[in-house]
C-alpha cells in the first residue's frame, strides 16, 4: 500500500508518516523518536483501509476454503493496523495527554466498526464454517486456532440478523467509548488530589525517606513543605505510617471517592450504562447475563462455577478475617484508639502490630531492596530457571527518557525478545503495574517474529539522597509483572490467535503469580538483596521474619480480594439494568466480606478499571483462580527444588511457551500431572481448609 503523505504545519516539505513505513530500527522496534501525535489518526485510517481490503480478499476468494487460505490468512490480516494500535493504546496508558485521549475517542469507534466488518461478514463466516464442518486433519494448535476463530465469529454477532445485528454494532461502539471515558476519569481523579502540608508536626510517624520524597514532589511543583498524592508510592506509606488520624482519613476518603464525586469525572452513570449495555449485548447473543456470555471464554466456564469457587475460598478467608480484625482492634485499643476501628486505621495499626509481632516492616527492608539490585536479581532468576540473558542497549528508541531497553537471548545465545522497563509514576501514566507488548510473538513467512515486551510500573522514585528503594510489595509486583513478561518473551506459538495475548484471563495470571513465590525464598533473596550503603547481605534473621510475617492478616487480604471478584460477578450477573444508587448495590454485595464500617460517600466500582476499562469483566475472580494454580505449581518446585532444571523446563515448555495453543487445563495437567486443588493455597496462606474442598475445575 502506498504510504500516506502528511504535510508539516511549519514547512512545505513532504513528510512520510513513520507509522505507515517499515520500521528502520533495531529489531523493527517502534520509532518513538519520529512519531508525532498528528501521525496517529491518519495512520489508523490508512491501516484500517488496508486491513479491510485484506479481509475482503479472503472473504471473496474463489479458492476452496482451507485452513491456510482462510483461517491462517485471516489471523495474519491487519498486521500494520495491529502494530499502530499496540503503539497508540499502550502509550495512551503510560504517556497520555488530552490530545491522545481525544484521538482514542475518535479512533475507537472506527476500530469497532472494523471488527464488525470481519465478524459480521457472512461470506467470510461461511468459509470458516465450511472448514470447521469438513473436520480437516490439523495440528493441535491449528485446531485451537480454528475453534477460537469460529468462537470469535459467534461472539462477534455472526449469527445475528437484521435489527439485532445493527443493535450489536451500536452497543459495541458505545461500550468502547465508555471504557475510554471511564479510564480518563479515573486518571483525572487520581491526579486531581494533593495533600499539601506545611507544618512538620503533621509528618509525625512518617519515615525520613517518605518525607524526602514528599518534599521533592513539593519542590518540583514550586511549593513549600510536602505534597502527598494518590499515586501508590505516596498514598500507601502515608496510610501506613502517618500518626495524624484526621489526615489519614482525608487521604482515604479522597482515594475511595475517585470517580464518585459531584464533578465532570463522576463514573457512576458510566458504570451503570456499561453494565446495562453488556447485559443487552449478552441477551442479543442468547445468554441470560453478561457473565454467562463472557465465561464461555474462561477456564471456569459458568457463573455457577465461579461463584462456587469464590465461596469455597470465602468461608475460611472470612473466618480468618474476623479473627484478624478482632486482634487488630484489641491492639489499637491498647495503643490508645478510643473510637471504632475504621478503614483508614487498618494499614496504620496493622503495620504497628506487625512490627510488634515480627519486628519487621517495609522501612526496615527498603535499604536491602534497591531497584537496580532487584532488577538484576529478577534477571538472574530467569537465567537460572530458563537460561535466558539480558543485555541493556541504548540504540532502541524509547517513548520516555526513563524507559530502559534490553536485548533478551535464549540459552543458545539466539535473540528472544526486546524488553522495555518503565518504572516510575508520572501524571500521564495510569496507576498500577502491567505487562504489555508492542509486538507479540508469531510466525510470518517462515520466520519466527520475536516479541517486543514492556513492563510498566509505578515504583518508589529515587530522591536527591537515595536511590529507588522498593517495598517488599513492590518487589513482589516486579516478580508478578516479570512473570507475564516471561510468558510473552518465551512464547513459541505460530499464530496471533494462539499466542500469549489470547490466553484465558483465569489462566494468564498463573505465570505472574507463580513468580511471586520466589520473594519468600532465601535462596533467591541471598543472590541480590544487599544494603544499598554497606553492601551487607540481607540477614537470615530478616528473611526468617519475612517468611513468618508472610501470612500476617492473610484472612483480611484474601477476603478483600474475593470482594473484588464478588462485585465484578454481581455487576455482570444482573438481569435488569441497575437503577438503585451504586453505593447501595455495592454494599449489599460486598458486605459479605466487610469487617470494618462502611464509609459514607465512598465507592469502589467507580475506580475499578480492571473491569470497566480493562479486559477483566466477569473475570476478576481469575486472580484467585490463578493463585490456586500457582500455589499448586510452586509446591512441585518446593518438592523438587526451587531451581530444579527439569521442573523449570517442564513449566517453560508446557506453560510459558504454549500460550493459547492448547486447552489450559490440558497444559497444566501435563506440567503438574494432576488437576489443582485449593489445598496448597490454603496451606500457603495459613487458612484452614474446608472439609469438602475440591479441584478448581
Tens of pLDDT, residue by residue over 398-452, are 999 999 999 999 999 999 999 999 999 999 999 999 999 999 999 999 999 999 9
Beta bridge partners of 318: none
Confidence (pLDDT) at 216: 96
Convert the pLDDT of each residue in 286-339 to its tens digit: 999 999 999 999 999 999 999 999 999 999 999 999 999 999 999 999 999 999
Place of cell 515480627: 358
pLDDT value at residue 679 = 85
- Give 501's DSSP letter: G
Q: How do residues 525-534 score in pLDDT, each as one tens digit?
A: 999 999 999 9
Could you tell me the residue ranges of all domains in the chain?
A: 19-159, 193-256, 366-548
Residues in the chain: 697
Residue 4 pLDDT exceeds 80? no
Q: Write down the pTM of the prediction.
A: 0.94
> Which distant-in-sequence residues (6+ apart) come within 8 Å of 284 by Cβ?
157, 160, 164, 167, 168, 171
CA pair distance 82, 438, nearest whole angstrom: 9
Which has the closest alpha carbon to 88: 24, 22, 19, 29? 19
Residue 686: the pLDDT is 86
Mean pLDDT for the stretch of residues 146-160: 97
pLDDT at 166: 96
Give how far Cα 153 sits from Cα of 274, 335, 393, 660, Å.
22, 61, 42, 18
Q: Does the pLDDT value for residue 3 go beyond 50?
A: no
The pLDDT tens digits for 269-279 are: 999 999 999 99
- In angstroms, what CA-CA distances link 97 with 83, 89, 108, 444? 20, 12, 16, 34
Residue 640, judged by CB atoms within 10 A of its CB (0-12, 13-18, 19+), counts as: middle
Query: Is pLDDT of 610 > 50?
Result: yes
Does the pLDDT of residue 13 top 80, yes or no?
no
pLDDT of the residue at 687: 84
Other C-beta atoms lying within 10 Å of the C-beta of residue 429: 22
Which residues, including other chains, have CB under 8 Å from residue 271's CB and lie 6 or more apart? 182, 571, 582, 605, 606, 612
pLDDT at position 15:
84
φ, ψ at 95 (rounded to 5°): -155, 55
SS3 state at 440 = coil
pLDDT of residue 688: 61
Contacts of range 214-220, beta carbons closer than 8 Å, 24 or more positions apart: 216/461, 216/463, 216/464
Q: Is the pLDDT of residue 692 over 50?
A: no
> pLDDT digits over 582-592, tens only?
999 999 999 99
Q: Is the pLDDT of residue 103 over 90?
A: yes
> How high is the pLDDT of residue 367?
97
Q: Name the percent of the chain lying above pLDDT 90.
A: 95
Q: Mind giving me the DSSP string for 311-380?
A: HHHHHHHHHHHHHHHHHHHHHHHHTT--S---HHHHHHHHHHHHHHHHS--HHHHGGG-BHHHHHHHHHH
Dihedrals φ, ψ of 600, to 5°?
-60, 145
Label residue 680 by pLDDT band (50, 70, 90). confident
Position 10 scores a pLDDT of 40
pLDDT of 696 reads: 54
| Mean pLDDT, rounded, of the chain | 95
- The CATH label, of 3.40.50.2300, 3.90.1170.50, 1.10.1370.40, 2.40.50.100, for the domain at 366-548 is 1.10.1370.40
Supply φ then ψ for residue 604, to 5 degrees.
-110, -45
Residues 6+ apart with CB under 8 A from 57: none
Give the tens place of pLDDT for each residue, 231-264.
999 999 999 999 999 999 999 999 999 999 999 9
Outline where DSSP puts E strands in 452-565. Answer: 452-456
According to the model, what pLDDT value does residue 678 have?
A: 86
Report the top-level CATH class of 19-159: mainly alpha
Give dist(CA 217, CA 234) in Å, integer.
10
Please give the positions annotated as active site. Answer: 481
pLDDT digits (tens, 9 = 90+) for 460-503: 999 999 999 999 999 999 999 999 999 999 999 999 999 999 99
Q: What average pLDDT does this structure show over 549-564?
A: 96
Q: Which of 273, 304, 264, 254 is nearest to 573 (CA)?
A: 304
Which cell numbers hold the place of 153? 465469529
Q: Cα 411 vs. chain centroid, distance in angstroms?
A: 28
Amino acid at each position: 500500500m502506498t504510504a500516506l503523505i502528511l504535510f508539516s504545519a511549519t514547512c512545505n516539505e513532504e513528510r512520510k508518516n513513520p507509522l505507515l513505513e517499515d520500521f528502520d530500527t533495531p529489531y523493527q522496534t517502534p520509532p518513538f523518536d519520529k512519531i508525532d501525535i498528528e501521525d496517529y489518526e491518519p495512520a489508523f485510517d490508512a491501516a484500517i483501509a488496508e486491513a479491510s481490503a485484506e479481509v475482503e480478499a479472503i472473504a471473496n476468494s474463489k479458492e476452496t476454503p482451507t485452513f491456510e487460505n482462510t483461517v491462517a490468512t485471516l489471523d495474519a490480516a491487519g498486521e500494520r493496523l495491529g502494530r499502530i494500535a499496540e503503539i497508540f493504546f499502550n502509550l495512551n496508558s503510560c504517556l497520555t495527554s488530552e490530545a491522545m485521549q481525544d484521538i482514542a475517542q475518535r479512533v475507537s469507534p472506527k476500530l469497532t466498526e472494523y471488527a464488525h466488518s470481519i465478524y459480521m461478514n457472512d461470506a467470510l463466516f461461511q468459509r470458516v464454517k465450511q472448514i470447521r464442518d469438513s473436520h480437516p486433519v490439523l495440528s493441535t494448535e491449528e485446531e485451537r486456532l480454528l475453534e477460537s476463530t469460529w468462537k470469535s465469529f459467534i461472539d462477534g454477532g455472526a449469527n445475528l440478523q437484521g435489527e439485532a445485528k445493527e443493535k450489536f454494532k451500536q452497543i459495541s461502539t458505545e461500550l468502547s467509548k465508555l471504557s475510554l471515558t471511564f479510564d480518563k476519569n479515573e486518571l483525572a481523579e487520581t491526579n486531581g488530589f494533593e495533600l499539601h502540608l506545611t507544618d512538620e508536626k503533621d509528618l509525625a510517624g512518617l519515615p525520613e525517606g517518605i518525607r524526602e520524597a514528599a518534599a521533592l514532589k513539593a519542590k518540583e511543583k514550586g511549593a513549600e513543605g510536602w505534597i502527598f498524592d494518590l499515586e501508590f508510592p505516596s498514598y500507601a506509606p502515608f496510610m501506613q505510617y502517618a500518626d495524624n488520624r484526621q489526615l489519614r482519613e482525608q487521604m482515604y476518603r479522597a482515594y475511595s471517592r475517585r470517580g464518585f464525586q459531584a464533578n465532570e469525572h463522576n463514573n457512576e452513570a458510566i458504570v451503570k450504562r456499561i453494565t446495562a449495555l453488556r447485559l443487552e449485548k449478552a441477551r442479543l447473543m442468547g445468554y441470560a447475563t453478561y457473565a454467562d456470555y463472557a465465561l464461555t471464554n474462561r477456564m471456569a466456564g459458568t457463573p455457577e462455577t465461579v461463584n462456587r469457587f469464590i465461596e469455597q475460598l470465602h468461608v475460611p478467608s472470612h473466618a480468618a478475617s474476623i479473627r484478624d480484625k478482632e486482634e487488630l482492634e484489641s491492639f489499637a485499643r491498647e495503643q490508645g484508639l478510643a473510637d471504632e476501628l475504621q478503614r483508614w486505621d487498618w494499614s496504620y495499626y496493622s503495620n504497628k502490630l506487625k512490627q510488634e509481632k515480627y519486628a519487621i516492616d517495609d522501612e526496615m527492608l527498603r535499604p536491602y531492596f534497591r531497584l537496580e539490585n532487584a532488577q538484576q536479581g529478577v534477571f538472574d532468576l530467569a537465567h537460572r530457571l530458563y537460561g535466558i540473558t539480558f543485555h541493556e542497549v541504548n540504540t532502541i528508541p524509547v517513548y520516555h527518557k526513563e524507559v530502559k531497553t534490553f536485548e533478551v537471548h535464549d540459552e543458545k545465545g539466539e535473540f528472544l525478545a526486546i524488553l522495555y522497563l518503565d518504572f516510575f509514576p508520572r501524571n500521564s501514566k495510569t496507576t498500577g503495574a502491567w505487562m504489555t507488548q508492542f509486538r507479540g510473538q508469531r510466525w510470518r513467512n517462515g520466520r519466527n517474529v520475536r516479541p517486543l515486551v514492556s513492563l510498566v510500573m509505578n515504583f518508589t522514585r529515587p530522591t536527591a539522597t537515595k536511590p529507588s528503594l522498593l517495598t517488599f510489595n513492590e518487589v513482589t509486583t516486579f516478580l508478578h509483572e516479570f512473570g507475564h513478561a516471561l510468558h510473552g518473551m518465551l512464547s513459541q506459538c505460530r499464530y496471533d490467535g494462539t499466542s500469549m495475548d489470547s490466553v484465558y484471563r483465569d489462566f494468564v495470571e498463573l505465570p505472574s503469580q507463580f513468580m511471586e513465590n520466589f520473594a519468600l525464598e532465601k535462596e533467591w533473596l541471598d543472590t541480590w538483596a544487599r544494603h544499598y550503603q554497606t553492601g551487607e547481605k540481607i540477614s537470615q534473621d530478616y528473611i526468617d521474619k519475612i517468611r513468618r510475617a508472610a501470612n500476617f492478616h492473610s484472612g483480611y487480604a484474601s477476603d478483600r480480594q474475593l470482594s473484588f471478584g464478588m462485585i465484578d460477578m454481581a455487576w455482570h450477573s444482573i438481569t435488569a439494568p441497575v437503577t438503585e444508587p451504586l453505593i447501595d448495590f455495592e454494599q449489599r454485595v460486598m458486605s459479605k466480606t466487610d469487617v470494618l464500617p462502611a464509609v459514607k460517600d465512598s465507592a469502589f466500582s467507580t475506580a475499578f478499571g480492571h473491569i470497566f476499562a480493562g479486559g477483566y469483566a466477569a473475570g476478576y475472580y481469575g486472580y484467585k483462580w490463578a493463585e490456586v494454580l500457582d500455589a499448586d505449581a510452586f509446591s512441585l518446585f518446593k518438592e523438587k527444588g526451587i531451581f530444579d532444571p527439569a521442573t523449570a523446563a517442564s513449566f517453560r515448555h508446557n506453560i510459558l511457551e504454549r500460550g493459547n495453543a492448547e486447552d489450559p487445563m490440558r497444559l497444566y495437567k501435563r506440567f503438574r500431572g494432576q488437576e489443582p486443588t485449593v489445598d496448597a493455597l490454603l496451606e500457603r496462606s495459613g487458612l484452614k481448609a474446608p472439609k469438602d474442598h475440591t479441584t478448581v475445575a
